[in-house]
Structure 1
């Protein structure tokens, strides 16, 4: 790598010619070939998508995410010892590079060594929400973000979400080695970045593009990028762009990048609760994790673009969502009517009432049904599921939910005449009176 933070703003960042050239330069600098990925949402998806691109090129990798450590694609027992072994293997050349997920809270608590990472990607921080910026969690994340910037080597590269001002705003103009990603190149920050002949990845005319303002490469149509739902899943499109930027930053050619984009999906095994899509009895079921309302808007918008006549939601404890955010969460989940199945394993009545208050605030509130547990909620869901339903599950235990749904799919496929969605003697929730029927005063 011939450029970094110390470049004059008038000089142009040059990408490494290959991964081998990148590794050779890192050996000269004494820096391990490790890519770090941080962010409030999407970082695990970016790690695995980047790893798929590297594997497509025949490269040997290790990854460390909240799912654990994988070396050459194989899940390892434990985390610290396997990761230490992976670092030794990258140093010796047995592995070509490693990709590490960084968690805001962990970074804030234990810190990072300075100038340790040659390439760092940041998926998002607050989705430009003022309410998010004021939260205690975000204040910690902002401090962690500064630590991560300091942990980036002076000759390193940053790949930043140019649509999130908290990530890319302010200091980015002084960082000629930053690659910005955006859904719209006319975003003021990105437009200014491109005018300086700096690198970016963006969407234009439904094509994913990478390069500079007057010299860019169209990679493929969004319709061919499996994870983006033909471009309708905006947050996954951003994750895709971040992964592309990281791949180019380490010297990967376009061919393996495009090859991975055509086939990569959020596998339930590796990415449980990462907007996993499952077809069950003709219905489309999405399994996700609870998230604050400023992030919830994005997947709900994507769900709204999916085919389906009835919207069904399944929600439980909503771990990680503060009490003050539950009413707005309920309002968002209750949009569009349909059915909401609520379960409460721990009996937090006050939190449930806040959620219900938000659901009832909609002009046409959905039918609401209560169950005692996530398992009971899934049983209820499967009894009333219709082929034209679109179901969005904010799962307490995504792995368990996905296993249950997969069993339902297998049982359906084993029934020779199972083409109907009749539910036998199960309850008919379409006429339930459990819904809040009026807006709160």
Structure 2
């Protein structure tokens, strides 16, 4: 669920049978109530992007970085702060982060910034995976040693290494596990068993194929998320097939963020079906899709290939009804459960939809909720 606030964390921390708690700590809860704990063993910041700006006094990305740095400032002196070395704002948190520092990076070692080169040279801990040139080996650098964790393309969630954002997530997760003294063979097997099925990670790169149409359901709810997803979408496109985007964004985003979302969508899709969330979050009906449309048109998108279908489930139906064989549909879903139930439901003349096998098997069955 959406359990990123301190109240949910307190429920978990109050259960005496739990040995390790992995708590996503969002900026909303931090601003409302702070952390749910005085100190943590491990703190990790994956990235800082221009999202949720203009809310609760946070108006710039620098403001947001200051809020997120609270997580690593709360690490106890013998713990570990894990930072994305590729994000300058996250890397800068090393000045305030407590405990020991562990970095992760998807750049080649020769392209590492000086602080990361020095860190590893002096025996510091870091995890790296060269995505630009390969091979996709995930390497642990620790005390002047290099150890193979696994290959990124062996992790189903990375889609043969094509989903760069999930390589970053795998590095961050592995770093947290390493810093919690989990043995490498255990980490390796766990990574190899994790895919993007609805059951394992609802709303995060869930894919299915039905009646010759490939469908991605993903909670890409901001420009950064859609831009990252777009890197994978471009790699999945085949031949002369069309890519249909069913796109929306939360109404509590700034006009400029919604406009940018439209611009990014214009660069990714051949057709656009613009929708709005069920909770308008202070916007009037149709306002968000109108701004999305403006952004797409500003980017040069053909107006005749834009449709506005306000209700999400109707927008999904429109995409399914108009897609041709081998087309790719991407839904930036709001009601994940409802959208997935629809796109994964077996057609009337079939028993089951077919899990997408274009890049890598999903290693799971499809369930209808």
TM beyond 0.5 = yes
Question: Using a 3 Å threshold, how does the CA distance of structure 1 residues 363 and 370 change in structure 2: closer, same or farther?
Answer: closer
Question: Using a 3 Å threshold, how does the CA distance of structure 1 residues 146 and 371 change in structure 2: closer, same or farther?
Answer: closer
Aligned to 1:330: 262
Question: Using a 3 Å threshold, how does the CA distance of structure 1 residues 172 and 392 change in structure 2: closer, same or farther?
Answer: farther
Question: Using a 3 Å threshold, how does the CA distance of structure 1 residues 80 and 107 change in structure 2: closer, same or farther?
Answer: closer
Q: Distance in 2 between matches of 1:81 and 1:278?
A: 36
Q: TM-score, normalised by structure 2?
A: 0.80
Contact 1:120 1:158 in 2 (8 A): yes
Q: Secondary structure of the equivalent of 1:154?
A: strand
Q: Distance in 2 between matches of 1:145 and 1:387?
A: 44
Q: Secondary structure of the equivalent of 1:258?
A: helix
Question: Using a 3 Å threshold, how does the CA distance of structure 1 residues 260 and 365 change in structure 2: closer, same or farther?
Answer: farther
Contact 1:158 1:177 in 2 (8 A): yes
Aligned to 2:361: none
Question: Using a 3 Å threshold, how does the CA distance of structure 1 residues 364 and 102 change in structure 2: closer, same or farther?
Answer: closer
Aligned to 2:312: 374
Contact 2:121 2:144 in 1 (8 A): no
Offset at 1:363? Answer: 4.2
**Is 1:198 equivalent to 2:130 in the alignment?**
no
Q: Distance in 2 between matches of 1:263 and 1:163?
A: 26
Q: TM-score, normalised by structure 1?
A: 0.68
- Higher-Rg member (1/2): 1
Q: CA RMSD in A?
A: 3.2
Aligned to 2:366: none
Q: Secondary structure of the equivalent of 2:22?
A: strand
Offset at 1:244? Answer: 0.5
**Is 1:104 equivalent to 2:30 in the alignment?**
no
**Is 1:66 equivalent to 2:33 in the alignment?**
no
Q: Distance in 2 between matches of 1:68 and 1:101?
A: 5
Q: Distance in 2 between matches of 1:303 and 1:267?
A: 17
Q: Distance in 2 between matches of 1:173 and 1:116?
A: 14
**Is 1:255 equivalent to 2:185 in the alignment?**
yes
Aligned residues: 334
**Is 1:400 equivalent to 2:326 in the alignment?**
no
Between 1 and 2, higher relative CO (CA 8 Å, sep ≥ 6) is seen in 1
Higher mean Cα deviation, 211-220 or 328-337? 211-220
Offset at 1:82? Answer: 4.7
| Deviations 1:240-275 (CA, angstroms, capped at 9, x unpaired) | 000000110011111111111112023424533222
Contact 2:44 2:72 in 1 (8 A): no
Contact 1:274 1:289 in 2 (8 A): yes
Question: Using a 3 Å threshold, how does the CA distance of structure 1 residues 67 and 150 change in structure 2: closer, same or farther?
Answer: closer
**Is 1:351 equivalent to 2:288 in the alignment?**
yes
Question: Using a 3 Å threshold, how does the CA distance of structure 1 residues 229 and 196 change in structure 2: closer, same or farther?
Answer: same
Contact 1:114 1:150 in 2 (8 A): no
Q: Distance in 2 between matches of 1:153 and 1:324?
A: 39
Q: Secondary structure of the equivalent of 1:376?
A: helix
Contact 1:277 1:286 in 2 (8 A): yes
Contact 1:160 1:178 in 2 (8 A): yes
Q: Distance in 2 between matches of 1:274 and 1:135?
A: 27
**Is 1:246 equivalent to 2:169 in the alignment?**
no
Aligned to 1:14: none
Q: Distance in 2 between matches of 1:174 and 1:370?
A: 46
Contact 1:337 1:365 in 2 (8 A): no
Offset at 1:222? Answer: 2.0
Offset at 1:301? Answer: 1.1
Contact 2:139 2:146 in 1 (8 A): yes
Offset at 1:207? Answer: 0.9
Higher mean Cα deviation, 206-215 or 115-124? 206-215
Aligned to 1:207: 137
Structure 1: stretches of 5+ with no match in the other structure: 1-64, 70-77, 90-94, 417-441
Q: Distance in 2 between matches of 1:97 and 1:138?
A: 31
